[in-house]
C-alpha cells in the first residue's frame, strides 16, 4: 500500500501543506508578536512621557517629594502598569508595587541607562520581583531643560503572549482543516490519475492469465491515455498475430492428423515431441503416454531407432524398411534432420507398405505359379512333339494317343488364359450383370448337371439338399452358375475318391445362403484367410492343376451381386464354402 502512487501523492501533498502552514504559522506569530510588542512599547512610551510631564513640576519644586509612592500607585491604577520613579543617580523615588526601601539602585537598569542617554529606553526581561516576563519603558523627567529623574512603566508581556497564542490556536485549527481538505483532494486527484493505470494493469494481468481481452481499455486524455492507446494497439496486433498463428497451427495439425503416413518429431536425445494420429494407430500407442517417451518405447523396433541415430550422426536423410511383428505390418521409414532451428530435432515418416509388399509377393507368386503351370503342359507338349518326330508318327495308334494328350495340355493352357482374362474383365467392371429373379434350386441343379460326370469320374458322390420352395433371388444366372461351378470344381479337385460333395441352400432373413460342402483335404486356418486372394494357392495343392484365380473370380462375382462369401474348414475333414445372394 505504502508503495502505491496514490499513497505517495497523498502523503506528499499532506506533508507539503503541513510544512508550508507550519512555516507560515511560525513567521506569522513571530511578526504578530513583534508588532504587538512594538505597539505596546509605543503606547507605554507615550504614557510614560505624559506621566513624566505630569510629575516634572512637583519634582522641580521639591526635588524629592514624599508623596511619590502615593502618586506612583495612583498612576499605576490609571495606566494598569507598574510605575517606578527614579532619580538621575538611580535612587528609587517612588514605586507603585514594591517596598521602596528594599529596592536597590536602579541606575544600571538598561532601560533607565538608555533613557538618560537617549531620551527613551526599553527592555524586556524576566522580573524576579513580579515573577513574570515584563516590558520596561523609561523616559527622562525633564523640566526647564534639566533632567530631574526617570519615570519607568512596566507591564507584563502575558497579554501579548496570550494574543499570539490565540492567533496560533486559530492557525493550528486552520492548518488541521486545510490538511484534511488537502488529504481528501490529494486522494481524489491521485485516485482519478491512477485509475487508468489500474485499469491498464488489470487488462495486462488478464492478458497474461489467459485468452486475450477483446474490448479495448478506455483511454483517458492525459499521458496515461497515450499509454492506454499504445497498449490497445499492441493488444490488437497481438490478437491478429495469435489468430494467424492459431490458423497456421490448425492447418498444420489438420494436415498432420489427416495424413495416412505416420509422422513423428523426435528431439536430439530421442524423446518424442510430436506424433500424428496415423502414427499412433500404426504403433498402437496411447496418445496420452507418447509425448516425452523415448523413440524405442514408441516404435519398438531397433531398425527405426538406428535409422534415427544415423540421421542424427550424419545430418543426412536415412531410410529403412522393417516389419512390426505383433501387427504383421511392413513399414517404410525415413528420417530427415530438421536442422539447427529446431534444436537438432528429426522428422520421422512411416508409410504402411504392407499392401504393396503383399501385391509384390502375390505378383511374384503369380509369376512363379503361372510359369510352373505353363511349364508343365508346355514340357508335356514338347515331349509329345519330340516323340512324334522321333518316329511315333509312323505308329498311327500311338500317334493318336499322343495327339489326344496334346489336346488335354492345350486345353489346360487355354483354361488358364481364359481365367486370367475373365478375372481381369470382372475386376475392371467390364462384365455387366443381367439380374433376374431366379429360383435357387435351378441354379444348384444346373450346376450339378454340368459337373455330375466329372464327379463320377473322380469317384465322388455329388448331390444337393436345396428345397424347391426357397424364395427367388436376384441373380445373373450365368455368373452365379460360374460361381457354383468354380466351388464344386474345387471340391472335386481337393476331395479324394470315395468322398462326397453336397450343395445346399437355405433362407436367412433377406438373403439365401448357398453352401458347397466337401469331405476333402481341408484348409489350414492361417491359409483360410488368404484363399480368396488372386493367385493364392495353398502350397500343398501346387501339384494339382489350377491358377489360384477361381476363388478370386468367385469373390468378385458375389460382391458385385451385393452378397458375401466366406469359407470354413478343418484340415483333413473337409471344407464348406458359403455365399449369400439378396432376395428378389
Ligand atoms: P485354383 O485354381 O488353384 O483352384 P482357387 O482360387 O479356386 O484356385 O483356389 C485357391 C486355393 O484354395 C486352391 O489352390 C486350394 O489350395 C484352396 N482350395 C479351394 N477350394 C478348396 C477345397 N474345396 N478344399 C481344399 N482346398 C481348397
d(Cα 125, Cα 146) in Å, to the nearest integer? 30
d(Cα 578, Cα 563) in Å, to the nearest integer? 10
Taking the centre of ligand 1 as the mean of its atom positions, its distance from the CA of residue 212, in whole angstroms, is 68
User: Three cell numbers at 260?
Assistant: 495416412
d(Cα 583, Cα 161) in Å, to the nearest integer? 130
Residue 475 forms beta bridges with which residues? Answer: 436
The arrangement of strands across the sheet holding 318-324 comes to: 272-275, 262-266, 346-352, 329-337, 318-324
Taking the centre of ligand 1 as the mean of its atom positions, its distance from the CA of residue 485, in whole angstroms, is 13
Q: Which long-range contacts (CB under 8 A, 24 or more apart) does 372-380 make?
A: 372/542, 373/412, 373/416, 373/545, 373/546, 373/547, 374/413, 374/416, 376/412, 377/409, 377/410, 377/412, 377/413, 378/409, 378/413, 380/405, 380/406, 380/409
DSSP state, residue 584: -
Phi then psi dihedrals of residue 332, to 5 deg: -105, 115
Q: Which residues contact 84 (CB under 8 A, 6 or more apart)?
A: 72, 92, 94, 95, 96, 106, 151, 152, 154
pTM of the model: 0.49
| Three-point CA angle 559, 560, 565, nearest 5° | 20
d(Cα 17, Cα 178) in Å, to the nearest integer? 8
541 lines ligand 1 (CB under 6 A): yes
pLDDT at residue number 545: 63
512 lines ligand 1 (CB under 6 A): no
Using CA atoms, how far residue 270 sits from 288, 306, 311, 351, 552, in Å, is: 18, 11, 12, 20, 46
**Ligand 1, residues 365, 490, 521: which to mutate, most atoms within 8 A of Cβ?**
490
Beta strands 574-582 and 565-570, pairing class: antiparallel
Taking the centre of ligand 1 as the mean of its atom positions, its distance from the CA of residue 548, in whole angstroms, is 7
d(Cα 202, Cα 209) in Å, to the nearest integer? 10
d(Cα 55, Cα 143) in Å, to the nearest integer? 10
Q: Which residues contact 538 (CB under 8 A, 6 or more apart)?
A: 523, 524, 527, 531
- Contact between residue 484 and residue 516 where contact means Cβ atoms under 8 Å apart: yes
- Contact between residue 213 and residue 206 where contact means Cβ atoms under 8 Å apart: yes
Spatial CA neighbour of 347 closest among 292, 313, 308: 308
551 lines ligand 1 (CB under 6 A): yes
Alpha-helical (H) ranges within 283-389 are 287-290, 295-299, 302-314, 354-389
| Three-point CA angle 464, 469, 475, nearest 5° | 75
DSSP state, residue 271: B
Give the residue whose CA is nearest to atom 13 of ligand 1: 537
pLDDT by 10s per residue, the chain, length 584: 567 777 888 888 888 888 988 898 889 888 988 898 899 999 999 999 999 999 898 888 876 777 888 999 999 999 999 999 999 999 999 999 888 888 889 889 999 999 999 999 999 998 877 788 899 999 999 988 889 999 999 999 887 888 888 888 888 898 889 888 888 988 888 888 888 888 888 888 888 887 666 677 777 777 778 888 888 888 888 889 989 999 999 998 889 888 999 999 999 899 999 999 999 988 888 888 888 899 999 988 999 999 999 999 998 999 999 998 888 889 999 999 987 777 789 999 999 999 888 888 877 877 777 777 677 778 889 999 998 888 888 888 888 998 998 998 898 788 778 877 887 787 777 778 899 999 999 999 999 999 999 999 999 999 999 999 999 999 999 999 999 999 999 999 999 999 999 999 999 989 999 999 999 999 999 889 889 987 677 764 444 566 778 898 999 999 999 999 999 999 999 999 999 999 98
**Ligand 1, residues 417, 420, 458, 494: which to mutate, most atoms within 8 A of Cβ?**
494
Per 3-state DSSP, what percentage of the chain is helix, strand, and coil (rounded to 5)?
A: 55, 20, 25
User: Three cell numbers at 420?
Assistant: 486370367
pLDDT at residue number 551: 93
Unique residue bearing C-alpha cell 536423410: 317
495 lines ligand 1 (CB under 6 A): no
d(Cα 514, Cα 429) in Å, to the nearest integer? 24
d(Cα 238, Cα 322) in Å, to the nearest integer? 47
Alpha-carbon torsion 404, 405, 407, 411, what sign? positive
d(Cα 88, Cα 148) in Å, to the nearest integer? 6
Taking the centre of ligand 1 as the mean of its atom positions, its distance from the CA of residue 426, in whole angstroms, is 19
| Three-point CA angle 70, 72, 76, nearest 5° | 120
User: Three cell numbers at 269?
Assistant: 536425445
- Contact between residue 349 and residue 256 where contact means Cβ atoms under 8 Å apart: no
| Three-point CA angle 578, 539, 369, nearest 5° | 100
**Ligand 1, residues 374, 426, 537, 542: which to mutate, most atoms within 8 A of Cβ?**
537
370 lines ligand 1 (CB under 6 A): no
d(Cα 51, Cα 66) in Å, to the nearest integer? 17
The arrangement of strands across the sheet holding 132-143 comes to: 92-95, 82-87, 146-156, 132-143, 121-127
**Ligand 1, residues 423, 541, 568: which to mutate, most atoms within 8 A of Cβ?**
541
pLDDT at residue number 542: 47
Give the residue whose CA is nearest to atom 18 of ligand 1: 490
Q: Which residues contact 443 (CB under 8 A, 6 or more apart)?
A: 475, 477, 480, 481, 484, 514
Instruction: Give, for 476, the enclosing helix (H) or strand (E).
Output: none
d(Cα 505, Cα 464) in Å, to the nearest integer? 9
Amino acid at each position: 500500500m505504502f508503495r502505491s502512487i496514490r499513497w505517495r501523492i497523498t502523503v506528499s501533498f499532506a506533508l507539503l501543506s503541513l510544512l508550508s502552514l507550519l512555516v507560515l504559522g511560525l513567521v506569522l506569530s513571530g511578526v504578530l508578536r513583534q508588532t504587538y510588542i512594538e505597539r505596546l512599547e509605543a503606547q507605554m512610551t507615550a504614557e510614560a512621557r505624559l506621566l513624566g510631564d505630569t510629575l516634572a513640576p512637583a519634582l522641580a519644586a521639591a526635588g524629592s517629594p514624599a508623596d511619590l509612592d502615593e502618586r506612583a500607585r495612583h498612576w499605576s491604577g490609571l495606566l494598569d502598569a507598574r510605575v517606578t520613579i527614579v532619580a538621575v543617580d538611580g535612587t528609587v523615588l517612588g514605586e507603585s508595587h514594591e517596598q521602596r526601601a528594599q529596592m536597590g539602585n536602579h541606575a544600571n537598569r538598561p532601560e533607565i541607562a538608555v533613557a538618560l542617554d537617549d531620551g527613551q529606553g526599553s527592555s524586556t526581561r524576566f522580573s524576579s520581583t513580579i515573577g513574570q516576563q515584563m516590558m520596561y519603558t523609561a523616559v527622562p523627567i525633564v523640566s526647564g531643560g534639566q533632567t530631574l529623574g526617570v519615570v519607568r512603566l512596566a507591564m507584563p508581556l502575558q497579554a501579548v503572549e496570550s494574543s499570539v497564542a490565540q492567533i496560533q490556536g486559530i492557525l493550528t485549527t486552520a492548518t488541521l482543516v486545510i490538511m484534511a481538505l488537502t488529504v481528501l483532494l490529494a486522494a481524489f486527484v491521485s485516485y482519478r490519475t491512477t485509475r487508468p493505470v489500474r485499469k491498464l494493469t488489470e487488462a495486462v494481468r488478464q492478458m497474461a492469465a489467459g485468452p486475450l481481452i477483446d474490448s479495448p481499455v478506455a483511454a483517458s486524455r492525459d499521458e496515461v491515455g497515450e499509454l492506454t492507446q499504445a497498449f490497445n494497439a499492441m493488444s490488437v496486433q497481438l490478437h491478429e498475430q495469435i489468430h494467424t498463428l492459431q490458423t497456421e497451427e490448425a492447418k498444420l495439425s489438420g494436415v498432420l492428423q489427416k495424413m495416412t503416413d505416420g509422422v513423428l518429431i523426435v528431439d536430439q536425445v530421442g524423446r518424442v515431441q510430436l506424433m500424428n494420429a496415423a502414427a499412433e494407430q500404426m504403433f498402437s500407442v496411447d496418445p496420452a503416454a507418447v509425448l516425452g517417451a523415448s523413440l524405442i518405447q514408441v516404435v519398438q523396433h531397433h531398425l527405426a531407432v538406428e535409422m534415427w541415430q544415423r540421421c542424427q550422426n550424419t545430418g543426412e536423410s536415412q531410410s529403412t524398411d522393417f516389419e512390426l511383428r505383433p501387427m504383421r505390418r511392413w513399414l517404410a521409414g525415413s528420417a530427415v534432420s530438421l536442422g539447427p532451428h529446431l534444436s537438432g530435432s528429426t522428422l520421422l515418416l512411416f508409410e504402411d507398405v504392407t499392401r504393396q509388399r503383399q501385391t509384390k509377393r502375390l505378383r511374384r507368386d503369380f509369376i512363379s505359379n503361372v510359369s510352373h503351370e505353363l511349364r508343365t503342359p508346355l514340357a508335356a507338349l514338347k515331349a509329345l512333339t519330340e516323340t512324334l518326330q522321333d518316329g511315333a508318327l509312323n505308329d498311327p495308334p500311338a500317334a493318336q494317343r499322343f495327339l489326344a494328350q496334346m489336346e488335354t495340355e492345350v486345353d489346360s493352357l487355354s483354361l488358364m488364359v481364359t481365367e486370367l482374362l475373365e478375372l481381369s474383365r470382372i475386376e475392371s467392371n467390364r462384365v455387366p450383370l443381367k439380374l433376374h429373379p431366379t429360383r435357387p434350386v435351378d441354379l444348384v441343379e444346373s450346376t450339378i448337371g454340368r459337373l455330375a460326370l466329372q464327379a463320377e469320374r473322380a469317384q465322388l458322390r455329388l448331390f444337393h439338399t436345396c428345397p424347391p420352395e426357397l424364395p427367388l433371388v436376384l441373380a445373373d444366372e450365368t455368373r452365379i452358375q460360374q460361381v457354383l461351378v468354380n466351388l464344386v470344381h474345387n471340391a472335386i479337385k481337393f476331395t479324394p475318391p470315395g468322398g462326397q460333395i453336397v450343395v445346399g441352400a437355405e433362407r436367412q432373413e433377406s438373403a439365401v445362403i448357398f453352401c458347397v460342402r466337401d469331405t476333402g483335404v481341408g484348409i489350414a486356418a492361417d491359409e483360410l484367410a488368404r484363399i480368396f486372394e488372386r493367385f493364392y494357392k495353398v502350397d500343398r495343392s501346387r501339384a494339382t492343376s489350377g491358377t489360384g484365380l477361381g476363388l478370386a473370380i468367385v469373390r468378385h462375382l458375389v460382391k458385385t451381386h451385393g452378397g458375401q462369401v466366406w469359407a470354413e474348414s478343418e484340415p483333413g475333414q473337409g471344407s464348406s464354402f458359403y455365399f449369400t445372394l439378396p432376395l428378389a
